[in-house]
Every structure is written in C-alpha cells, then in structure tokens.
Chain A
Amino acid sequence: MKLLLVEDDLEGGAYLKRALTEAGHAVDHSPSGREGLRLAVTESYDVLVLDRMLPHVDGLTILRTLRASGVEIPVLMLTALGSIDQRVEGLEEGADDYLVKPFAFVELLARVNALARRPPARDAPVVLQVGDLRMDLLKRAVTRGGARIELQSREFQLLEYLMRHAGRVVTRTMLLEAVWEFHFEPRTNIVETHVSRLRSKVDRGHGVELIHTVRGAGYCLRGPE
C-alpha cells in the first residue's frame, strides 16, 4: 500500500517510515504540513497518517482542507496524550481513526491496515462470511457450518468487528473503542475474557480455528487458506 506520513518529528517519522516499509508499505514522509497537503492533493495514496500538531499548517487544517476539496482518502490522526477533546475534534473534521501518542507500532500498523481496505459505506453487505462462518446482519443470526451459534449482544458486536476486518490484525484497543466505546484502558482484561468466550462458541468442536491470537498485537479472524 502507498502511505503518506505527515510528521514533523524527523527521528520519529524516519522510524515509522522504516518500520512501515518493512511491513510492506510504500511510505512518503513529509515533515511539513504545507508539503504534506500538497502531496496529499497531487499524489494518490491509500492512507494518510497525519500528526495533529505540526508547525505552520497543523493537522486539523490539512484535514479540513482535504475534506473541503473532496479528497476522501482515509485519514489516521495522531494526537497528543491525554486530550479527550482533540479526538472528538479530529473525528468531527473527518478523520477516520485516531491514535494517541505515544503508541505501540503494532497499533499503528493494525489501524493503517484496517483503514486501507475499508469497503465503501454505501454498499454495506448484509451477510458476512469467513470460511464456513456466516453472519446475517439483518436477522442478527450466526451459523458455522450450518449450525446456529447463540451469541450475546456484546459477543455479536465483537464477532462482527472481527469479521469485517477478517484477515487483518485487530488490536485490543481497537476492540475496546469499537465494541465497548471505551476510550481508555480498563485494568480488567475484558477483551481477553470476551474473546475467549466467543472463541469457545465459534471454534470449539470445529477442526479449523478461525479466531487467532497474534502475540504482542491482538487478534485476527482468518478463514482456512
């Protein structure tokens, strides 16, 4: 994938560029907001990783300008630690996701991947299917190999998110934000507990495991190759 990284911290930006390149992405790094905006408008990227705090032209202004001129590139906003309002502000201006600095690289990678292949919202599917696991979003029914699986509402939401991001790594924080709407880290391992319950309902008794734990990163729902 082709990524644009706008980050004024040269050292941090270079590190992220190297790591993202190693993960298989083509990355352009721009340390200035003005240059970043020019690149975002003239070149074609799959995802824009945008630092909120930039000298001269800040991230929010770039985002606003892009959205006003009809550029619909997915944007991951990087915001400073400890500011709830900045997240809301960023999302209101049209950011697709946000990440609080400092973050683990796997978190950034997972979110970039999640954004890139996001299907257009207009033709949202009614049925999600991964391997022999099938979710009917209208009837809110889940089956595996034809056998019905009873899920509680939170488990349903969790599975839906995993299925929508099938084949991609989903971090604990992404799940907390998307399924629980927690924008903070609880001390209790509620994600682990719910995933393990979900796993016991979805995978137990089936030869092929669909829900995988990715060590040090999160989870991944993946069909048999």
Chain B
Amino acid sequence: MARSISLRLAAVYTAAFALAVATLGATILAATRSALSDQFESRIGAESAALVQEYRTEGLDGVLQAVRERDRTPGSLDYGLTGPAGPLAGRLAGERTATGWSAVQVRRRGGRSETVRLLTVDLPDGYRLLIGDDLGRIQALDGVVLRGFALALLGVVVLGAAGGYGLSRDLRRRFAAISGVAEAIIDGDMGRRVPVRGAGDDLDHLALTFNRMLDRIAALMVSLRQVSNDIAHDLRTPLTRLRQRLEAGLQAGDEDQRRQAMERALDDLDAILETFAGLLRIAEVEGGARRVGFRPLDLAAAARSVVDSFAPSAEEGRRALTFHGSGPAVIEGDAGLLTQMLVNLVENGLRHTPPGSAVRVGVERQDGCVTLVVTDDGPGVPPDERTRLFDRFYRLERSRSTPGSGLGLSLAAAVARAHGAEIVLGDAGPGLEARIDFAAGP
C-alpha cells in the first residue's frame, strides 16, 4: 500500500490542504484579534474623552454622577473614579494603576475573576478616571474561530484520506486491469485487450494506445507466421527435388550421369539461395534502413536504362519492350532499389505475356507527382486476384509452370512502399497495368 502512487499523492495533497487551512485559520485569528482590539481601544478612548469633557463642563460632581449612573447600567463598561483621598465611585475605583493602558484582575459577583483591560486618565487636582472592559468577548471569539478551523481541518483530513483511499482503489483497479492483460499476453493469449471505460480520460488514452500497439504487434506476428509458413511450404518442393537429385547422383552408374545430377543439384541450390536472397532483401527493404541513402535521381533515365538493357532479350523472346517519357522526372530515392523494382516490373510483364506481346514503360512528371506506368497487352489478371499478386510466393494458376520465385512483385511493392508510394494494379484493357505515383523530388 505504501508504494501506491495514488495513495501517496492523496496523502501529500491532504497534508498540503491541512497546512493551507491551518495557515488561513491563523491569519483570520490574528486579523480578528487585531480588529477587535482596535475597536475595544477606540470605544474606551471615546468614553474617556466624553467623561473628561464632562469634568471640564460639569466639574467633579458631574463626573461622579455619570460614573455612578453608568456603573449601575448592566452590560456597561467598568468604571472607577479615585480622588486624592481614595476611591470615590465605580467598580474599578480601588485599582491602583499607572496612567495609560494596563490590565488588572477583577473579582466579579459569584467569585469568578476576570481580566480587565483599562485606561487610566489623570484629571486635575489629583483625581483619576479608570475605564475598562473585560477581555471575555475577544477570548470568546478566539474560541469560536479556533473551533471552526479545527473542525475544518478535521474535515479536510478525513475527506482527503477517504478520497485518497477511493482514488487509489479505483486507479489500482484500472492499473491492475492493464497489467493483467499484459500478463495474459506474456502467457500467450495475444487476443486480450485492455478494457476502455469510455470516460476519455488519461487512462483511457493509455489503454487505447496500448491496444493499438497490441493490434500492430498481432498483425506483425500474423504476417511473420504467414511468411514462415510460406517459406516452409515453398522451399519444401525445391529442397525435396534437390535431395532427389543428389540421391540419383549417388546411385548413378557412370561418371557422366553423376556429373549431370550434381550440376542439376547445384542449379536447384542456386534457385533456393535466390529465393532466400529475395526474402532477405524484402525484409531489409521493409525494415526501412536504407532510407538514409535516398538521393535525388531521374526515374525516367533509370527506366530508360532498364528498358535499353532488357529490350534485346525481350526481342529474342518476340516481345516488344519500349520506353515512353517526355523528359527528366526527378524523385528522392535509392537508385539500386528503384532499378530492381523497375527490373522486376519489366520482367513480370515479359514473363507473363505470350510471344508477340508489347510491354510499355512510361514515366511522366505532372503537378508535383512522378508517375511510373508499366503496361502489357497480355491476358491481364482478374480484379480479385490483383492485390494477392503482392503476397510473397503468390503465383497465378497459369504461371505455376513457368520458373520464378513469386517474390518479384512483393519486392517491387516493398520498394515502392519504402519510397512512400504504392503499386496500383489495373486493367490495361487488354492486359495488366501497374501504376506508381511518386512524390516529385526537388
């Protein structure tokens, strides 16, 4: 419990509020006391001024009468008049105090004693006037203020403790839910998600982010599993064939047959290694580590160069490969990767069309956009199969007989994605169109 953040926070806040209440109480008490004391002194000062005035106009008898009269009035101040010979009138007459403010203990009826604060004023001819009042009222008010604030302090502490406990329990429950989900996932239940309360508060945001992260990880794991399955499945066939060839070589009677078997086995092995290289390359491109090597380059020139390199081979296969462009088209990218993407797209066009077909590569720059289009006039691909062409190892039924790893378009798509673009497959009517829109470079 001592380690609960919420509880610790609640304790700190309660202490801070209690301190604030106490400070407020002390300040109000001091202010009240000062105000009451000022009021007290000015009241007594005014009274003494009135009686001194009485003495001046009416003489000693006037004052004597006034003091006696007031002394009899219940609830009045305390008075005393002393002459050179001794006390003359009033409850305070017997007190021997110096001129000015002082405090004395006075015995009241019923025997209780009270502190009276009084002002002693000298009158002519050795007479002295004393006027005072007990401090009971100020002290009573002190008590009221103190009691009030003590109660408030108690309230703050009780509410703080209760609130802290409640808050802490609520937060602990929600944190426990999150760590419970994490524990479940550690144990292998990838489907669990953190409950979202719907209040839109910080913890809900945390839960949503956490869930999004889990979705992403789950998707990656699915794709990883898919890739592993694909690899296992697609390598089993060539590996089996390789094994058969080696066995045949071992059993072969004459040297020539053995040699032939070995050479074929090497070819098979090279094909397998090529598939591996393709997979690793896709992984590397998808990892995005190469983006640092991006430079401005002319995609039109790169495409023209690829077309020039492949046109003679295309011609031998009785296919026409042509380039169409109207000038430089600069984008930011990796020349090596883009060349490989172009090669894969061109080869895809050349390999999946019958002799006599035409493959066109076009690069156009328009409105901050560089568009690469590779089209063929072959049989095309049904719309529902087009996106699957990018899956690793996916091959159309009719292409199964032609050699190929089924990785060419996956790699091309990965390269396009690494450049912030996407390959869109469409109908060239007839044939297949692959279109990629790149952001134009500087």
**What residues make up the interface of A, taking CB atoms closer than 8 Å to B?**
81-85, 88, 100, 102, 104, 152, 154, 180-190, 193-194, 197
Residues of chain A within 8 A (CB-CB) of B316 are 193
Flag B339-367 by CB within 8 Å of A: 1 or 0 each.
11001000100110000000000000000
Contact A182 B339, beta carbon cutoff 8 Å: yes
* Nearest chain A residue, comparing its CB with the CB of B266: A104
Report the 7 A-B pairs with minimum CB-CB distance, sorted nearest first: A82-B280, A193-B313, A193-B312, A188-B313, A186-B343, A190-B313, A190-B309
**Of A81, A104, A197, the contact of B277 (CB 8 Å cutoff):** A81
**Of B274, B308, B310, B336, the contact of A84 (CB 8 Å cutoff):** B336
Chain B interface size, as a band, is 20 to 34
* Min CB–CB distance B53 → chain A (angstroms): 107
Contact B312 A82, beta carbon cutoff 8 Å: no
* Nearest chain A residue, comparing its CB with the CB of B312: A193
Contact B340 A187, beta carbon cutoff 8 Å: no
In addition to A104-B266, A154-B308, 8 A-B residue pairs with Cβ atoms within 8 Å of each other are A82-B279, A82-B281, A152-B308, A181-B336, A182-B343, A186-B347, A187-B351, A194-B309
Contact B309 A154, beta carbon cutoff 8 Å: yes
Contact A84 B290, beta carbon cutoff 8 Å: yes
Contact A185 B350, beta carbon cutoff 8 Å: no
Contact B273 A85, beta carbon cutoff 8 Å: no
* Nearest chain A residue, comparing its CB with the CB of B404: A187
* Nearest chain B residue, comparing its CB with the CB of A81: B277
- 13 A-B residue pairs with Cβ-Cβ distance under 8 Å, sorted by A, are A82-B279, A82-B280, A83-B280, A154-B309, A180-B309, A181-B339, A182-B343, A185-B274, A186-B310, A187-B408, A188-B347, A190-B309, A194-B312
**Of A82, A88, A152, A186, the contact of B284 (CB 8 Å cutoff):** A82
Residues of chain A within 8 A (CB-CB) of B403 are 187
**What residues make up the interface of B, taking CB atoms closer than 8 Å to A?**
266, 273-274, 276-277, 279-281, 283-284, 289-290, 293, 308-310, 312-314, 316, 335-336, 339-340, 343, 347, 350-351, 403-404, 408
Residues of chain B within 8 A (CB-CB) of A152 are 308
Residues of chain A within 8 A (CB-CB) of B289 are 85
A81-B273, A83-B280 known; A188+B310 contact, CB < 8 A? yes
A154 and B312 CA atoms in complex are apart in Å by: 12
Residues of chain B within 8 A (CB-CB) of A182 are 339-340, 343
* Nearest chain B residue, comparing its CB with the CB of A197: B312
Contact B284 A83, beta carbon cutoff 8 Å: yes
* Min CB–CB distance B275 → chain A (angstroms): 11
* Nearest chain B residue, comparing its CB with the CB of A152: B308
Residues of chain B within 8 A (CB-CB) of A82 are 276-277, 279-281, 283-284
* Min CB–CB distance A103 → chain B (angstroms): 10
Contact A184 B312, beta carbon cutoff 8 Å: no
A182 and B305 CA atoms in complex are apart in Å by: 12
* Nearest chain B residue, comparing its CB with the CB of A87: B336
A183 and B337 CA atoms in complex are apart in Å by: 9
Residues of chain B within 8 A (CB-CB) of A154 are 308-309
Residues of chain B within 8 A (CB-CB) of A181 are 335-336, 339
A219 and B343 CA atoms in complex are apart in Å by: 24
Contact A184 B290, beta carbon cutoff 8 Å: no
A187 and B314 CA atoms in complex are apart in Å by: 12
Contact B351 A102, beta carbon cutoff 8 Å: no
Contact A84 B273, beta carbon cutoff 8 Å: no
* Min CB–CB distance A217 → chain B (angstroms): 13
* Nearest chain B residue, comparing its CB with the CB of A216: B263
Residues of chain A within 8 A (CB-CB) of B312 are 190, 193-194, 197
* Min CB–CB distance A147 → chain B (angstroms): 23
* Min CB–CB distance B261 → chain A (angstroms): 15
A102 and B351 CA atoms in complex are apart in Å by: 27
A2 and B281 CA atoms in complex are apart in Å by: 35
* Nearest chain B residue, comparing its CB with the CB of A153: B308
Residues of chain B within 8 A (CB-CB) of A83 are 280, 284
**Of B280, B308, B343, the contact of A81 (CB 8 Å cutoff):** B280
A104 and B314 CA atoms in complex are apart in Å by: 28
**Of A85, A184, A189, the contact of B313 (CB 8 Å cutoff):** A189
* Min CB–CB distance B131 → chain A (angstroms): 101
A175 and B16 CA atoms in complex are apart in Å by: 79
Residues of chain B within 8 A (CB-CB) of A100 are 277
Residues of chain B within 8 A (CB-CB) of A193 are 312-313, 316
A85 and B283 CA atoms in complex are apart in Å by: 13
A84 and B339 CA atoms in complex are apart in Å by: 14
A190 and B313 CA atoms in complex are apart in Å by: 6
Residues of chain B within 8 A (CB-CB) of A185 are 274, 277
Contact A183 B276, beta carbon cutoff 8 Å: no
* Nearest chain A residue, comparing its CB with the CB of B283: A82
A27 and B278 CA atoms in complex are apart in Å by: 34
A82 and B280 CA atoms in complex are apart in Å by: 5
**Of A81, A187, A197, the contact of B347 (CB 8 Å cutoff):** A187
Residues of chain A within 8 A (CB-CB) of B280 are 81-83
Contact A184 B308, beta carbon cutoff 8 Å: no
* Min CB–CB distance A10 → chain B (angstroms): 22
* Nearest chain A residue, comparing its CB with the CB of B285: A84
Best-surrounded residue of B293, B312, B347 (most CB of chain A within 10 A): B312
A158 and B236 CA atoms in complex are apart in Å by: 39
Contact A84 B404, beta carbon cutoff 8 Å: no
Residues of chain A within 8 A (CB-CB) of B281 are 82, 84, 184
A85 and B293 CA atoms in complex are apart in Å by: 10
Residues of chain B within 8 A (CB-CB) of A190 are 309-310, 312-313
A154 and B313 CA atoms in complex are apart in Å by: 14
Residues of chain B within 8 A (CB-CB) of A186 are 310, 343, 347
* Nearest chain B residue, comparing its CB with the CB of A102: B273
A205 and B137 CA atoms in complex are apart in Å by: 135
A83 and B281 CA atoms in complex are apart in Å by: 7
A184-B340, A188-B347 known; A84+B309 contact, CB < 8 A? no
* Nearest chain B residue, comparing its CB with the CB of A189: B313
